[in-house]
Structure formats: structure tokens, C-alpha cells
Structure 1
Amino acid sequence: MTPVPEQRRARRAPAPRPARRRLLPWTAAVATALTLGALAVLPGSSAPQVDDAAASGPVRQAEPGKSAAPTRSGAPGQGRPDRITPSATPTPSAAPSAPTTAPAPGETVTAFTETDAYLANPGLGYQGWTHSVGALGQSTEYRRGEHPEQGGFDWASLNPREGVFDWSPVDAFLAGCADRGEQGSFRIYTTSGAPYGTDRVPQWVEDRGAVIRDSLEPDYRNRQYQQHWGAFVDALAARYDGDPRIAFIDISGYGLFNEWQANDLTDLTDPEGLGDSVDASTRRHLVHMYVGGSGTARVVESDGVTEGVLPYAHRGFTRTQLIMPYGGIWATSRWVAVTYPHVGFRNDALFGPDAELADFEAMGYGVTDIWRTAPVVFEAIGSPPAGSEAAAAETLRGMGASFLHENSVVDDEDALAELVTPLGYRYSPSRITTPTTATAGGTLAVTGTWSNTGSARAYPRMGQDFTLTYALADVDGDVVTSWEAGHAVSDWLPGDEHAVQDALPLPRLAVGTYTVLTGITERSTGQRIRLPLDTGVGAGWYRVADVRVTA
């Protein structure tokens, strides 16, 4: 990676974020206090393990006559692919303060202890070399094209002739992800890098005049390259924009591995990505291919000298999450961060010399706040040097990362799990208050205090649009009614506490004792995610307390 030779600002302390209890000695250097009211803290324990409690237990669906909603088979937190038909939706309201610790007469206050389990929930966490080669569970597989064992995608294979597209590799990949209850993410290459050095430009485009340089990179300024790569991206967007099987797609087309690394033709004098050079114009055009836009690009003809212009208009991806790789060109990352806040950020150099938090803070232009509106992804560049884990953890936390593409280079699985566990959203209640009795046909009043103790938020553009959910289970463990409370959980930011009140309309149930359950439901699939609790009873439900329903 070639960083832009700009003077860095003085290092400043990162904004505080809630930190998970650390299991490894080096993590103390980056931890801040976890505050969740009266939340108990676990005593010392071993490295985090995947929490399987949410996918097991006695709770059963008791409404066989109701049809199930579409599901992702085997998705995290799901014991069965059922969706309970909610009762009438209550109107949520924010409580002025968190419930008191001591229960009032007629109330039960349940306190929760957050676990340190790694949760492979949708839209976050670990990404391995492939689905089958990786140290931890993953919800979102990532494909790219530099290594044949990864089965990645490249322009030459997908677009063998002008106007002819072979989407079968992408379709097969996404179908496999869906079959496993996962989402897919990918980058399509136009060039690779050592040791897989080759261009991935179709031969027919080269025959039209695209230029492949000695570095095996295309000349990105070239008219034929931009014109035909743009037509390919237009076709890609027409086919896959809004496909719910896709978590995100990288904006590609520039630099070795299409990581947007600089080369000897890159204009490094342009600080904001707004320059008038052919290279600056080229980079803006390549971004517009994905985000959509029109304009006139400056181009170079096939002789490498003569300049011209190329009018363009691209539809872009309007619904699918896009990620902008950063390979050292500050100007483009700054321009995208300011102009397209819905586009995420990716850096493929964690553990490298230019991937510390101070480097991204020095870039400025809101780059360290991209996580507020779009996901952040890191990839490990190689085996971590001794003592580098603390800086890596600080970078991941300070940038609000949701994913770590580990690429099978971190040998210490405990250290890897420690890095990955806080990534993305992580919802946990500290306490929930319920009545000891309720009247059938009346209301069930529930209050609670919840927090997002992860490093980022959830992103509905990736499909993670969550709501708080409650249910009642009878003495046999069958869920007899449920409610989607309507709270915008995906908007909960790291470190914020949310005191919620819900008046849940009770149907006319039989007199008896029922168990109040809670969960977080993904609206698009009706499935509930895993929570960092040890009270799971199956199908993504977590036990709160018993309530006696009277006539």
C-alpha cells in the first residue's frame, strides 16, 4: 500500500466507547469502562465461545395453522424457521429514566448479566478465507478474485464478450450463502497483484484498445477501460441491486487487487478528490459507476498520450450497501466520506504500518465517523507482529468496525475471538420489569433498559432492520402470543442506554402462569438474533420472568 505523503495531525485520544470485559492481557490498553446500570460482571473466564443457547431449548411454536414468514435457513438465533404472528402492535414510548433496582409491589425486576460469547449475528463479525476455511462462525461470507481457491469473481470471466454476461458464479455463490442462512459480499476484480499478478480485463476490451501496463494493471485513465467497465457495472447493478442475499459490494476498478492503491500515475496533489487531473476525474467516474451519477470524465486514448472526454450516466446501486476500499489515497476516501455518507469504508491492512487509529484520524473529513451511517470493514494484512493486537483493537473500536476479514492469517484463535467479539452491534438488557399478575384482555406493562455494547450500529441497507419483541410461553414451553414493540433498535448507537416502556395488549388467554420472553427480531425475515445472555430458551427467545394471567 502506498500512503499519501501528507503531514499527519497530532494524535488525539479516540472518542470513548463502551468496551467489553477483556480476556487477554493486551486488551486492557484499549478498554474503557462498560456501564450498564447494575449489570453484573462475570468473573474471569476463558476465551469467548459461540453461544448456542439461542438455538436450543424447549420453546415450541403453538400455532400450527399460521404460515411461516420467509427465513434464512439456519440463521443465527433460530432453532426453527418459524415466525410467530404478532398480536396487536403496542405503541412504544421512552421512559424518563431507567427502572429502579428494587421492585415495587406487584412487580418483578429481572437483572441480566451480559456474557462474553462471540455472536455470529447477521451483518457483523468474522469473515474467513472462505465459508469452510475459518476459525470462527460467520454470518456473511466474502469473495474476491485474487486466489483460485477462493472462487472469486473477475471481469474477464463474467463478461467474456461485449454485451454477454455469465452471472452463474455469482448466482451460485449467493445461492450457497442463502442455503446456509448467510449473506454474501464480494469484490469483482479488474486486476490482481503479486503473487497472482495478472490483469482481469476481458480480451475483447484489450482488443478495443485498453492498455495493460508493465505492472499488470490496466491504465485506469484509458477510454476503453472506463467505457466498458462502466457498462459492466451498470449490468451488475441492474441484476443485483436490492438482492437481500447481498450484505455489501466493494467499489472496485482501481489499484492492485482493486484496493485503490496508488500507482505512479495517481495524482497525490489533490487533497479532497476534486482535482481536475485525468487521474482524479477517472477515480470519480469509477465511483459514480457504483453510486450512480452522470458527468464527463477526462480520459486518455489508447496511445497513452492523447486526452479526450467521455460523457457518462450510470444508474448505480440505490438499495444495496456499497463499501469503498481505502488503499492509501486519502483524496478519494475523503471525497466519498463527505459526498456519499451511505457508502461504507474498507481497509485491507489491519496489523500493517498505516492502519493505526491515528492514521485514520489524521485523514479527517469524518472518516472515523463513517460507522454512524455505513458499515466499516477491515482485513488482516498478515500475521500480527508481536505486540500489535492492542493497536489493532483500538483501530477496530475507534473506527466502529462491523467486520474483520481475517483471511486465515491469525493463528491465535483466542486473540482472534477477542478482536472480533465486540464488532458491530451487540444488544443487551440490563434489567426488565414485568408485573407479577395481568388480566386477560387487558395489558401487560413491560419496562426495560437496553444498551448497544458493540462497536457499531446495525445497518438496514444491509438488511438488519431490528425491532424489540416480546412473547408469552405457557407451562409447556409453547409460545401463545407475541408482540413487535416497534422500537427502532437499529438506530441504537454504541454506548447509549435506552429506557423503554411498552403496554402490550393481552389476548383473552386461559388463566394460568406464563413466562415472559424477549428478543430482537429482524423485520425482513422475522428471525431473532442472538443476544449475549445465558437465558436463551430457543428460537432466539430469552426468558425474563413469570406472570400470572387472571380472568
Structure 2
Amino acid sequence: MPEVIRRIRPTPVDDYLDNPHRGCCTFQRFNGDELFAGTRWSEEGPTEFPQRKYERPAPEYLPTTVAYCRWFWRLMEPQRGRYDFSMIDRSLQVCDERGQTLAVRLMAHGSAHQPQVPDWYAQSCPMTENRQKRVPFMGPVYDAPEYFEHWGRFVREFAARYDEHPLLETIDVTYIGPWGEGAGECSPPQCRRFAELWAEAFVHTPRLGMIGGEQMKAAIATGAGWRCDCFGDQRFFGSPTVPHYLSWNHMFDAYPSSLVQCGARDAWRTGPVHFETCGVPMNWYRLNGDIDFVIQQGLKYHGTYFMPKSTALPPAWMDKLDAYCRQLGYRFVLRQATVSTRVPLGGRLHFEAWIENVGVAPIYRRYDFAVRLRQGNREAVIAFTDEDVRTWLPGDAYLQRDIPLPEGFDRGWVEVAAALVHPKTEQPSIDFAVRERFPDRWVDLGGFEIVAA
């Protein structure tokens, strides 16, 4: 008996895909900007926005669809209750122009010799000496009600303006220590209050808890993902009596224990993981670091973002880092589709699809799998709105639908294509990792014949 279905098996590709919400990130820079010189960078987010110098990516860097920037509180609330978010607005505009989304950290203060809390706060609210960095400095009392009130109000104000912005990629949950990275004392109840504040304020934006301690525990408990700020270090520390290769470092002595102790091993299933490099990769290379180990750990942790601080990457490692970033986050291969060969007029098209996520994490934003039908100048897009692609963990997803023929379609040939579309615009937004995709991101699935009923 003749087969009444047609199987389509697209050809998988290993190409770089210009997909959003994953991969390498720029830092305090945007696509086309110059990299930082040498192995240094700035903790102060951009306030000036020069014209792009390069077509992306910049030389000695990797392609990127995410910009990561962070700014200090005193810049954005120089007077109590008077906000200046102009640099955020401009950053979002530049991201839109250059094909990126914007991941953000708001920082209450830096370390000594860096921007501190706003003057109005330091002059009227509890302050104490913070001695957890090499140079002591006066910082806020993190458990003080005034700190929760004022820093919390500022965070809420930011969220009220930007939480629903389509280009806001992630927000860091930060309130302890210089840069918000945890070097300070804060009680578990206050950590829970701050974590809940972020969760209530940022309903639409994925949140990232800072790795380690009560700050991470509290964020993970609210459904946040996580990020670390010294990813890749192995030999940066030591002493006259301890060789570098046996010295304390984050990759061996901090991150594995923090994930276990903070209950964060499975947080990647619902929240993204972001790796900021310790120093910059050029330093790792010069210290003869084990890049293969670093990459293996990043994939094991199901990372989505890699942020090497917009500095030149070692040419000898470029291929490995490129391959690593292609594996981060999601990567969807449309392995097979099955469609009816003939459908009676007024009937239903039987459709099945096997999709494999060959990345190491899901996508954390909603998109809809959709089928496009075309016949002459008629077109219909049928979105599978009941299918949550955010649940497509590494491995297999399988779709099966009987699709009613849209009104206006008549006897004859109908072209079929599939894509992941934006839920509001129904425009294709994600490339499948297959050769048969059209320039507009739809994947060619052949077609079927409408016959007389």
C-alpha cells in the first residue's frame, strides 16, 4: 500500500547561528566597538556611544548577540528620588541597531577608589568600614532598613521602566559588597527580602543570582538562574609555599561547593547561567591555563552566556572558544518532519516534528513553534501556542498536530515551512541548525496536495 505521508529530514549544520539570548557577550561595549586595550577593562558602564568601528565581530573577538553592561547607583540617582536612566535608554537603542539584547547589573557601589553609594545616601544612612577587599572603604550597612528602602526603591524604579522591554536580556540580583558580588555581611532574612524584591519587580526578565553564600541561596529559592565572576581561574593565586597549580582558586575550591551548598545544581533548567571570566582569557593563556578543562566545566554547568570582557582572545584558542560558544545555551536541530501527502478540501493536515536541542540549556524566553502554509498569494501561519519551547531541555522534543486547512485554500499544491516565531509578531526569530532554512529563517518542509473532498 502506498505511503500517505512524506518524511523530510533536514541536513544539520555546525555553522554559527546569529540567534538571540545565548553565546558570547560584549562587555561595556556593543557590536562593532573597539575592544578594551590589553588585558584591562572598566567597571563603569557606557555613557558615551561612538559610532561602530567594525562590522561584527570586532577583530580577535567572537560573534555576539548579547551586550552585558553594568552601572553604579550614584550615576543614576545622583539626588534622592531623581533618576537619570538616559544611559540605559541609549544602550537599548544601540543594541537594537546592532542586533543585540542588553544584560544589566545595577551596582550599589564599587571597591575603594571606585564609585561609592550616592553622597546623599552616605551622608544620611548607616555606613561601616568594609574590610573584605585589599583596601578598606566605607560602605553601606547591608542589613540596615535604610539600605533596603533606598536601594530597593531604586531597583523597583528601574524595573517599572524596563522589565517589559523586549531587549532587556537579564538582570543580576546584587546588593552585597563591591559590584554586588558578595564581599560583605548580610543576614539570611535580609537576603530573602532582597531576593523577593527582585522577583516581584522583574516578572518578565530572567534574574541571575550571584554565586555563593546566602545571596545565591535566596535568589535560587525565587527561581533565579546564576552567574559567576571569576570563571576560568586556575593559577592566579599562590604563595611562596604553595605552587600555583595547587593554590586555592574558584574553579576547584569555590564553584562546585557553592552550587551544591546553595541548591543550585538544577537551577539551569529554569534560569540561565552566565560565566564572566576571571581576568581575561589572554591572562589564562599566558599562565598556561587548561582551556579544555574550563570549557568542559562550562558545558557541565549548562551555561548560556560567556563574557570575556571585550578583550582580545588568544589566537591559539580562538577555534576552541568559538566551538564552545556554539554549544552554550540552546541549539535546535529540526531532525525530521512528517506531513500528509494529500489532504481533502476542508480536511486536516497531519503534521509531526522531531526537534533535538543539541545545546546544553533551554531557551528562557517564550517563542512559538509555527507552521507556514502557502498557496499562490495565500499564506497562513499556524502557531502552536500550547507548546512551551522553554521546556525543550537538551535532548528531544516531539510535536504532533492535525492542522485544519485555513479558509481560502483550494485544490492544488501547498508549500510547508516551519520556524520559531515571536509570540507577538509571528515573525521568525530563531534559526534552526539546518541547511534547508530560507533567509527569513523559515525551514523548507516541501509541501502537500489539496484534493477534492
TM range (shorter): 0.7 to 0.9
1:411 is aligned to 2:332: no
1:421 is aligned to 2:304: no
For the 8 Å contact 1:241–1:319, the answer to whether it is kept is yes
Aligned with residue 199 of structure 1, among 115, 134, 142: 115
Greater percentage in helix? 2
**Cα deviations by residue, 1:98-135 (Å, 9 ceiling, x for unpaired):** xxxxx961322111232112223222222113213453
Call closer, same or farther: CA 1:178–1:511 in 2, change over 3 Å. Answer: same
1:142 is aligned to 2:68: yes
1:470-489 pair list within 5 angstroms? 470-474=371-375, 480-489=379-388
The amino acid of 2:64's aligned partner reads Q
> 1:202 offset after TM fit, Å?
1.0
Call closer, same or farther: CA 1:163–1:117 in 2, change over 3 Å. Answer: same
Match of 2:356 in 1: 451
1:522 is aligned to 2:404: no
> How many aligned residue pairs are there?
392
1:436 is aligned to 2:338: no
Call closer, same or farther: CA 1:279–1:497 in 2, change over 3 Å. Answer: closer
> 1:282 offset after TM fit, Å?
4.9
1:333-482 pair list within 5 angstroms? 333-337=216-220, 339-340=221-222, 342-353=223-234, 354-356=249-251, 360-363=255-258, 364=260, 365-381=262-278, 382-383=280-281, 384-385=284-285, 386=288, 388-409=290-311, 410-412=313-315, 413-459=318-364, 464-474=365-375, 480-482=379-381
**Cα deviations by residue, 1:249-278 (Å, 9 ceiling, x for unpaired):** 111232222222x35xx4xxxxxxxxxxx6
Call closer, same or farther: CA 1:466–1:104 in 2, change over 3 Å. Answer: farther
**Cα deviations by residue, 1:4-60 (Å, 9 ceiling, x for unpaired):** xxxxxxxxxxxxxxxxxxxxxxxxxxxxxxxxxxxxxxxxxxxxxxxxxxxxxxxxx
For the 8 Å contact 1:357–1:394, the answer to whether it is kept is no
1:131 is aligned to 2:30: yes
For the 8 Å contact 2:209–2:215, the answer to whether it is kept is no
Whole-Å separation in 2 of the counterparts to 1:512 and 1:331: 64
3-state SS, counterpart of residue 438 of structure 1: strand
Aligned with residue 506 of structure 1, among 389, 400, 405: 405
Aligned with residue 394 of structure 2, among 482, 490, 495: 495
> 1:470 offset after TM fit, Å?
1.0
Match of 2:209 in 1: 324
> 1:530 offset after TM fit, Å?
0.8
Match of 1:548 in 2: 449
**Cα deviations by residue, 1:305-326 (Å, 9 ceiling, x for unpaired):** xxxxxxxxxxx33333221122
For the 8 Å contact 2:269–2:393, the answer to whether it is kept is no
> 1:192 offset after TM fit, Å?
2.6
3-state SS, counterpart of residue 128 of structure 1: strand
For the 8 Å contact 1:199–1:217, the answer to whether it is kept is no
Whole-Å separation in 1 of the counterparts to 2:322 and 2:374: 34
The amino acid of 2:23's aligned partner reads G
The amino acid of 2:208's aligned partner reads I
The amino acid of 1:401's aligned partner reads G
3-state SS, counterpart of residue 540 of structure 1: coil
Match of 1:291 in 2: 199
1:3-152 pair list within 5 angstroms? 105-129=3-27, 130-132=29-31, 133=33, 134=58, 135-144=61-70
In structure 1, stretches of 5+ residues that fail to align are 1-102, 145-152, 267-277, 293-315
For the 8 Å contact 2:415–2:447, the answer to whether it is kept is yes
* Structure 1 length-normalised TM: 0.65
3-state SS, counterpart of residue 421 of structure 1: helix
**Cα deviations by residue, 1:294-352 (Å, 9 ceiling, x for unpaired):** xxxxxxxxxxxxxxxxxxxxxx33333221122xx333323432x21x21201111211
> 1:500 offset after TM fit, Å?
2.1
1:230 is aligned to 2:130: no
The amino acid of 2:321's aligned partner reads L
1:533 is aligned to 2:434: yes
Whole-Å separation in 1 of the counterparts to 2:114 and 2:128: 9
**Cα deviations by residue, 1:429-484 (Å, 9 ceiling, x for unpaired):** 2111222222332221112211211111122xxxx212221112347xx6622211
Call closer, same or farther: CA 1:127–1:204 in 2, change over 3 Å. Answer: same
For the 8 Å contact 1:442–1:506, the answer to whether it is kept is yes
For the 8 Å contact 1:199–1:212, the answer to whether it is kept is no
In structure 2, stretches of 5+ residues that fail to align are 34-57, 130-134, 235-248
For the 8 Å contact 1:440–1:549, the answer to whether it is kept is yes
For the 8 Å contact 2:191–2:214, the answer to whether it is kept is no
Match of 2:244 in 1: none
Aligned residues with identical type, % of pairs: 22
Call closer, same or farther: CA 1:191–1:212 in 2, change over 3 Å. Answer: farther
Call closer, same or farther: CA 1:500–1:209 in 2, change over 3 Å. Answer: closer
Aligned with residue 141 of structure 2, among 205, 212, 220: 220
For the 8 Å contact 1:473–1:515, the answer to whether it is kept is yes
Call closer, same or farther: CA 1:334–1:279 in 2, change over 3 Å. Answer: closer
What RMSD in Å do the two structures reach over aligned CA positions?
A: 2.7
Whole-Å separation in 1 of the counterparts to 2:115 and 2:439: 49
> 1:288 offset after TM fit, Å?
4.3
For the 8 Å contact 2:143–2:187, the answer to whether it is kept is no
For the 8 Å contact 1:451–1:496, the answer to whether it is kept is yes
> 1:136 offset after TM fit, Å?
3.3
**Cα deviations by residue, 1:63-97 (Å, 9 ceiling, x for unpaired):** xxxxxxxxxxxxxxxxxxxxxxxxxxxxxxxxxxx
Match of 1:47 in 2: none
Whole-Å separation in 1 of the counterparts to 2:340 and 2:100: 38
1:182 is aligned to 2:100: yes
